[in-house]
Amino acid sequence: MSTASVPVPPAPTASGQTARRLRHAGQRLATVLLTLLGLLFLTFVIGRVMPLDPVLSIVGPDADRSTYEQVRQQLGLDRPLAVQFGYYLRDLSHGDLGKALLTGHPVRDDLARVLPATVELATLAILIGTLVGVPLGVYAATRRGRLGDHVVRLISLFGHSTPIFWFGMMGLLVFYAWLGWAGGGGRIDLAYDGLVQSRTGLLLVDSAMAGEWEVFQSALRFIALPAGILGLHAVAYISRMTRSFMLAQLSQEYILTARVKGLSETAVVWRHAFRNILVQLLTIVALAYGGLLEGAVLIETVFGWPGFGQYLTSSLLLGDMNAVMGSVLVVGIVFVALNLLSDALYQVFDPRTRS
Amino acid sequence: MNPSRTLRACALATALAAALVSLGAQARTPNDQLVIGVSMNNLLSLDPAGATGNDVVEIACNVYDYLVELDPLQTTTVKPGLAESWAIAPDGRRITFTLRQGAKFHSGNPVTAEDAAWSLQRVLKLNLALASPWKSYGFTAQNVVGLVRATDARTLVIDLPVATDPKMVLYTLGTSVSAVVLDRKTVLANEKNGDLGAAWLTTHAAGSGPFKLDEWRAKEVLFMSRFDGHWRGPAKLRRVVMRHMTESQSLRLMLGRGDIDIATGMSVPDIEAMKATPDTEVHSVNRGTLYYVAVSAKDPKFADKRVRAAVLRHLVDYDGINKTVMPYYGVYHQRPVPLGLPATLPEPGYKLDVAGARKLLAEAGYADGFKTTIRVVAESPFTNIATNLQATLAQAGIVASILPGTGNQVYGAMRERNFEIIVGRGGGGAEPHPHSSLRALVYNPDNSDQARLTNFQGWRTSFADPKVNQLIEGALLLTDPAKQTAAYQEVQRRFDSEVPAIQPISQMVDTVVMRKDVRDYVGHPSVTTRLRDVHKQR
């Protein structure tokens, strides 16, 4: 009697694994592309429904009919919506985001100019937010219910609930107008504007690479205040989250065990508890960074900072759809990239997610 | 590391950063540079054929030369620019300009009458926004080449296709961006697909003015530097910087520290505060544009003259608005012809009169009032005027809801003739001639929907009075100044008796705040403020 053979799943081979990974990556890519396409479509539809007339923005309220119609035709706005969207996608596939009404330049060039300004601001802010917020959060958690905890929570509450606009004005008043420590509006002192060739668009990096330390110092003077204020906002959020993550860890049994085993409090807090919240922290820092990139609008207005936030707002108010869609695409890509990055980091730091 | 040590390290790092930042003393703007803080939100293009709004005028009049200029203090006085003289034919249909010798463009090319003729022809061929005034004089893309021409390198002849007041044409030449003289060779060298250089001129300039455009980064900064080869001799300033700043408080702080020399577009409380400081002074200039309340005569309620009179004449608190809302924005004025012209009649003296309004409304069958909407641009002073109006309308039982929006939305609705009440600003304004405002605000030669005369605010309010049209057309052609003045006064009296759908409440004032060491800055009522003589005394 022959025994029925029990189907045994084939042992995973190296090539099988690669194939699976490739398939997984392919699915991931398709999802990302579909998400971005959906985002573009939605923006396009909303943009066309909005009661804003880009033609009117160009020709002004007093133009006559023939001028109005001519410009409308030049912009292609007389064609059916589906056709307009089709043309947009066609151009997009060639890397062409169209021309911005706002500046007269290709949207791609505009974004290449305004994005670094915001990236520089947001990066410095998130660095401040993380380097100050995380230790503060940990400190508060270890002092739960005591004075230190209350102080940190108060700082967090203050930073989170005070309008960033007000912080900006007060910061300018104190550090710029009274003390003269910080620069005023703009990214750099006009005397230094254009002295350093733009390589990355990040003024601090460019001037350091060129060895122009006076320019670097001027750029630092101008960025310190807006980045500090945005950073404070991030501190409030990050410290609050860190505190609650830490509290959750510190009440776990393994902490008790570690303490019973006689480990020092520093070792318990940093080597055990903190290591276990790293992954969660990465996610919130990534999200906060994305938020800063997109949400620095008010600070950019107060400080006359020529960045992405101002660009997006102005193009929205003008009904400049090429600029709006280009900007939305960038925001979409940034969020997708940050999500992918935090997923990847999860896999590095948390072995459980690797399967 | 223990938490409190971390905290101490952070504190130390912050202190270090602050110390680093405080290095480098704050300097005032250099002696030979002028830094202007300004909102460049409306600056979308620098092309003289297509760029609308006031922002571009302030730049164009310094980067380009005009054939003629209007005196900033006596705006009806026409002064030589690139043209050293001009003659008007006895029948008023031809203006002949003689251009000065030796003028050069920034490129080094000589300025010729051919350049001047080509520049004007270009405006009409492109048919963009700034072709409007020229089209109203009868020029078209087809006829302009024959009518505007150079007879030799220094002589430019402009033949007027339809009878008009040649003064009006001279004023347009002195105020409109479309009238600047372009360096034809440079522009054509940058032409793409037969666009007459339009794409290139959007962000570049090719002029002969006292300043060269160095760089314009939209919504950020614009640099101009002195053109040493200018025919008037070099300007006093080496560099002019316009910095995009929209936040009034930030402007105030920067002005206070001397990081900018001139600020425009500041809010009233900030202007008041700067007025009280010793280092700055406040300058206001009357513009020709008017703030108005308009109603749509297409709406059955406002088709009734009595309702229009009740709302526009009796239910607007003219005194209150002009005293509380308008300081630094506008001055009391109720006529369609701006202040300061010989033809302007004394104010009719409309004032808030609720009882009078109620009586008129009752006669029209609206004793209990009605519901309506006020469309308004969501910024000062428009919203303040609208809320004031809302309150006074309510006193006569009219319940008005306010619909705030962007300029685009509000004027867009007006262009569609789809509104009830609007608080807006408009008028010809730039040319110091009654016709300029009357054409923009009152004239409506065809009140049909199909006409789509969207450039006439008279058409947008759906109000047409053939007699007013006729009077406006007639007055423009009168060559005797006294008779012309009398004719324009007649237009205003007719306007008064017919209660048109648009009612001026205030004449626009533009206020700049500047450091006291800035000298010889004279704001121009037509926005063509020239910086060539401006300097600093420290």
Domain B1-61+210-279+516-538 grouped into CATH 3.40.190.10 = yes
Instruction: Note the pLDDT of residue A28.
Output: 83
- Most confident residue range from A180-184, A192-196, B115-119: B115-119
Angle at A264 between CA A260 and CA A267, to 5 degrees: 110
**pLDDT tops 80 at residue B18:** no
B454 close to A (CB below 8 A):
yes
Summarize pLDDT for A313-342 with one digit per residue, the tens: 888 888 888 999 999 898 888 888 888 887
Rounded to the nearest angstrom, the minimum Cα separation between B173 and chain A is 18
**pLDDT tops 90 at residue B496:** yes
**pLDDT tops 80 at residue A158:** yes
Least confident of A52-61, A69-78, B203-212: A52-61
B276 close to A (CB below 8 A):
no
CATH number of B286-509: 3.10.105.10
Which residue of A lies nearest to B251 if distances are taken between CA atoms? A185
Provide the pLDDT confidence category of residue A13 given band limits of 50, 70 and 90: low
B131 close to A (CB below 8 A):
yes
Angle at A215 between CA A210 and CA A221, to 5 degrees: 135
Is the ipTM beyond the 0.85 threshold? no
Q: Which residues on chain B are in Cβ contact (under 8 Å) with A138?
A: 3, 6
- Kindly state the tokens that stand for A218: 């001027």
Residues whose CB falls within 8 Å of the CB of residue B496, separated by 6 or more in sequence, listed in order: B348
**pLDDT tops 60 at residue A27:** yes
Q: Which residues on chain A are in Cβ contact (under 8 Å) with B37?
A: 185
Summarize pLDDT for B506-537 with one digit per residue, the tens: 999 999 999 999 999 999 999 999 999 999 99
Nearest to A67 among B6, B35, B132 (CB): B132
Summarize pLDDT for B424-459 with one digit per residue, the tens: 999 877 899 999 999 999 999 999 999 999 889 999
A166 close to B (CB below 8 A):
no
Instruction: Note the pLDDT of residue A53.
Output: 86
Q: A266, B45: Cβ pair inside 8 Å?
A: no
Least confident of A67-76, A261-270, B51-60, B400-409: A261-270
Q: Which residues on chain A are in Cβ contact (under 8 Å) with B5?
A: none
Mean pLDDT of chain B: 92
Summarize pLDDT for B341-383 with one digit per residue, the tens: 999 999 999 999 999 999 999 999 999 999 999 999 998 899 9
Summarize pLDDT for B62-88 with one digit per residue, the tens: 999 999 999 999 999 999 999 999 999
Mean pLDDT of chain A: 86
Does an H or E element contain B84, and which? Answer: strand B83-88
Chain A residues 219-278 with a CB less than 8 Å from chain B: 220-221, 224, 265-266, 269-270
Which amino acid, one-letter code, is at A43?
T
CB B441 within 8 A of CB B290: yes
Cis bond before residue A135 (omega within 30° of 0): no
Summarize pLDDT for B382-393 with one digit per residue, the tens: 999 999 999 999
Chain A residues 6-45 with a CB less than 8 Å from chain B: none
Nearest to B243 among A71, A181, A304 (CB): A304
User: CB pairs below 8 Å between A and B: how many?
Assistant: 188
Specify the CATH class of B64-192 in words: alpha beta
Residues whose CB falls within 8 Å of the CB of residue B403, separated by 6 or more in sequence, listed in order: B373, B374, B375, B376
Average pLDDT estimate for A281-309: 86
Does an H or E element contain A259, and which? Answer: helix A253-260
**pLDDT tops 80 at residue B322:** yes
Q: Which residues on chain B are in Cβ contact (under 8 Å) with A263?
A: none
* Helix-helix angle A107-142:A213-250, to 10 degrees: 50
**pLDDT tops 80 at residue B27:** no
**pLDDT tops 70 at residue B10:** no
**pLDDT tops 50 at residue B25:** no
- Kindly state the tokens that stand for A164: 């960033």
Bridging pattern class, strands B421-426 and B399-405: unpaired
B168 vs B20, more confident: B168
Q: For chain B, what are the domain ranges?
A: 1-61+210-279+516-538, 64-192, 286-509
